[in-house]
Amino acid sequence: MFQQLVRDLILAKFSLEPDDVRSTSMGAGGEDVLLSPLARRRVPLSIECKSREKIAVYGYYEQAEENAKGRGEPCVFIKQNRSKPLVIVDAEYFLELLRKVNNE
């Protein structure tokens, strides 16, 4: 299950106990990954997980990967009409950035 993968990535990047980061059951309301107060201080995010067969942004990310060719981490800025811009980066890269910010 994708939520459990996200939970495992967070546990791998931060010094947290398994009870600090929990995956909710499918269909449960609210956040998909629950964080203890300690985990929330280190990972100040409200996490929603979506896993689908095909999501259009993956094509954009693949293009960013092709263009990067050693010049930096692939990153996609997207914006839909009347919505705020979003940034797409690799999940492990993002969590590593967050971990570094917490350690500095």
Residue 28 has pLDDT above 90, yes or no: no
> Helices marked H in the chain — which ranges?
2-13, 37-42, 57-68, 91-103
pLDDT at 104 over 80: no
Residues 33-62 have a mean pLDDT of 92
**Average pLDDT value for residue range 23-36:** 90
What pLDDT band is residue 39 in, cutting at 50, 70 and 90? very high
Quote the pTM value.
Answer: 0.81
Look-up: residue for tokens 């939520």?
Answer: 3
* Residues 6+ away with beta carbon under 8 Å from 96: 13
Please report, for the chain, the start and end positions of each structural domain, with discontinuous segments joined by +. Answer: 1-51, 54-104
Q: Which residues of 75-85 are buried (b: 16+ CB within 10 A; e: fewer)?
A: ebeeeeeeeee
